[in-house]
Amino acid sequence: MSKNPEFVKFDKVDKSYDGKVLVVKDLQLDIAEGEFITMLGPSGSGKTTCLMMLAGFETPTHGEILLDGNIISNIPPHKRGIGMVFQNYALFPHMTVYENLAFPLRVRKVEKDEIDKKVDKALSMVSLNGFETRMPAQLSGGQQQRVAVARALVFDPAVVLMDEPLGALDKNLRESMQYEIKHIHESIGVTVVYVTHDQSEALTMSNRIAVFNDGKVQQLSDPAELYEKPVNSFVAEFIGENNTFNGEVVDIDKDKCKVKLAKSEILANPISVKSKGEKTTVSLRPERALINPTDKMDNMFTGKIEEVIYHGDHTRVRLNLLGSSEFILKVPNSTSNLELKVSQDINIGWNSIDARALDPK
């Protein structure tokens, strides 16, 4: 059976709450069957609104949402058959874990034996067997979270929506839950739409990430491409760390362009610039710039160390380079460590292909 590449489809969806401001603008998004897609963006970017429209708690102002080829805009939430994990789990506090999981099955009039079987299966999936009679208040945050995931999956929905489900957990638990949710997704192959504002969560878990800003999808691609090849300066800024230079294109050919900064010129990879005279923001990942490069690189400069911050597995160095004192370098901590001292001058080099000339900020 081939998978439907347009299992969930947002077709030119607009959403406005007050008739004045569009929260979601002309959203066009296809989600393939069995895919783990993450909507990532700062708060107020419209990602949760999209999720709520898909769940049926908000109606699109314009456009249609299709699930497996059927328009669902007019179907009430309880008939959509979409599982949802809420931000604060939304476990029913007056029901036991078993009753919480049995709720979606009971309203579907599933037989008692069948309910027992499915609840048992769902609980073993999140390794919570034996917790059936506990009340949600007797569970830890991580356990509640797993019950919420199990409850959203127990009735075998076609799509599961997760609205920042890990936001309330502490860092270690969050990381282990990320892997757990990822593995559950891999083992049962359900389509997951995940909303978060945490970029590392998005990068670890997803097949594809849709970066939202200002009601629009800025970039939709897999995690590696999103990080390595951001298509505009918002994505570059939002995902990972980033050194930027603002300047003007003075020379351009097929895969290289020369950008004039305040005092000097650098070579960059033209992504969104087309012609001479355009303003641009050049983006460079900190780990792509090397100290005292041995190979020949097409951008070579000397900078002065302003600050050295020790981070355990790596050291972060802030430099004064090309007229900006905010240039960041990440140096892995290895045995052949360099002696880095404040106000020391060092040579820095990077390849023009890693310096992406994007739209001006």
Partner 1 sequence: MSSESKQILTTDGIPLEVSLKKAEKKNKIKAFLLVAPLLLFLVITYIFPIGDMFMRSVDDRMVTNMLPKTFKAMEKWENLDELPPEEVYRGFYEDYKLLAENQQHGKLGQRLNKEKNGFNTITKKLFRQIKRKKIDESASLKEQINKLHKRWRDVEYWQAIKRTAPPYTASKYLKGMDMYFAADGSIAQVDEDRRIHRILWLRTLEIAFFVTLFCFFMGYPIAHLLATLPMKYSNLLMICVLLPFWTSLLVRTASWMILLQQQGIVNDFFVMIGLVADDNRPEMMYNKVGTYVAMTQILLPFMVLPLYSVMKTISPSLMRAGKSLGGTPFVAFWKVYFPLTIPGIGAGCLLVFILAIGYYITPALVGGASGTLISNQIAFHMKTTLDWSFASAMGLMLLTGVLVIYWIYNKLVGVDNIKLG
List residues near partner 1 by CB under 8 A: 55-57, 76-84, 86-88, 90-94, 103-104, 107-108, 151-152, 155, 161
CB of 81 or CB of 293, closer to partner 1: 81
CB of 104 or CB of 270, closer to partner 1: 104
- Rounded Cα gap, residues 258 and 160, in angstroms: 47
CB of 95 or CB of 173, closer to partner 1: 95
The region that residue 133 occupies, defined by phi over 0 for left and psi between -120 and 50 for alpha, beta otherwise, is alpha
> Minimal CA–CA distance to 41: which of 164, 148, 149, 162?
164
- Rounded Cα gap, residues 228 and 205, in angstroms: 17
Query: How does strand 279-284 pair with strand 356-358?
Result: antiparallel
Q: How far is the CB of 84 from partner 1 (least distance, A)?
A: 4
Distances, alpha carbon 357 to alpha carbons 173, 185, 232, in Å: 38, 37, 9
Q: How far is the CB of 56 from partner 1 (least distance, A)?
A: 8
Q: How far is the CB of 188 from partner 1 (least distance, A)?
A: 18
> Minimal CA–CA distance to 197: which of 83, 51, 45, 53?
45
Q: How far is the CB of 208 from partner 1 (least distance, A)?
A: 23
Q: How far is the CB of 99 from partner 1 (least distance, A)?
A: 9
CB of 119 or CB of 284, closer to partner 1: 119
If you search the block for the tokens 């945490």, which residue do you land on?
198
CB of 52 or CB of 321, closer to partner 1: 52
